[in-house]
Chain A
Amino acid sequence: GAVVSQHPSWVICKSGTSVKIECRSLDFQATTMFWYRQFPKQSLMLMATSNEGSKATYEQGVEKDKFLINHASLTLSTLTVTSAHPEDSSFYICSAQMGLAGVRETQYFGPGTRLLVL
C-alpha cells in the first residue's frame, strides 16, 4: 500500500517550453503533497507544499510563477515548469501524505522525474 507514482519518469525538452509533471497517490487519498528538487549528488530541497483544493505554499526562493502547482484532487498533483531553461534541469520528486500538513504523517515518495532542458 501507499504507492506514489510520477509521470513522466524522464523528459527532455527545448529551452522555452513548458513541462508538466504528474504525481499520483495510487491507493490512498493524499490531502497534502510536497514537491522537491534534487540536483546531482545533492540533497532534496523542498519547493512547495500543496493541500488539496487550495493554493500551494512555496518555499523561500522558489518562483511560484515559474513552478505552477495544482492539487485539484485527492490523488493528483501537478507541477508545471513554465518556460524551462537549462538551469531547471534537475530531478523532481513528489511525496504525498494522507493527513494535513500540521499533523505528523508519513510521507510516501514518488520515483522522481528527471528533467533535462536543452
Chain B
Amino acid sequence: GEDVEQSLFLSVREGDSSVINCTYTDSSSTYLYWYKQEPGAGLQLLTYIFSNMDMKQDQRLTVLLNKKDKHLSLRIADTQTGDSAIYFCAEGKAAGNKLTFGGGTRVLVKP
C-alpha cells in the first residue's frame, strides 16, 4: 500500500534554513505536495512538484525530489517565526487525485 513518512519535529533558529524530509513508497505517484497547517486551521498548499522534475524553487521554498530513492524535501530559506507550523507532504496520482498524507513535521522557529 501507499505510505508516506516524515520526521516528527524540527527546531530551527530564526534566519536559518529549515529542511523537512519526506519519503514515500508508491513509485506511481504523479505529484508530490507540501502543505502547511497552522494551529486549529486547515491546510494551505505551499508548493507541489511533478514526478518528472528534480527541483522546484518558489521564493523562499525549494523542493528537491529524488525519484530513485523516493525522497522529497522542502527547504525554507531565512526561516521566520511565522513559519512555525506543521508541514505535511502528500503524494497523489492523476487518476482519482486522492492524496496520501505523511504524518506531518512540526516546525518550531526560535527567535
Contacts and interface: CB of A to CB of B under 8 A. Distances in A.
A34 B43 CA distance: 13
Interface in B38-53: 40-45, 48
Interface stretch (A12-20, A70-78, A79-87, A102-110): A102-110
Interface in B94-111: 94-104
A109 B44 contact: yes
A43 B5 CA distance: 10
A104 B103 contact: no
Q: How large is the interface on B (under 10, 10 to 19, 20 to 34, 35 or more residues)?
A: 20 to 34
B41 A42 contact: no
A107 B92 CA distance: 11
Nearest to B6: A43
A89 interface: no
A103 B72 CA distance: 23
B30 interface: yes
A50 interface: no
Contacts of A105: 97
Contact of B96 (A43, A93, A102, A110): A102
B21 to A, nearest CB: 15
A46 interface: yes
Given A44-B43, A107-B45, A102 B98 contact: no
Given A43-B102, A104-B30, A32 B42 contact: no
Contact of A46 (B40, B42, B43, B99): B99
10 contacts: A46-B98, A101-B96, A102-B95, A102-B97, A103-B97, A104-B97, A107-B97, A109-B35, A109-B43, A114-B40
A57 to B, nearest CB: 9
Nearest to B96: A101
A97 B99 CA distance: 12
Given A43-B88, A43-B102, A104-B92, A32 B41 contact: no
Contacts of A106: 45, 48
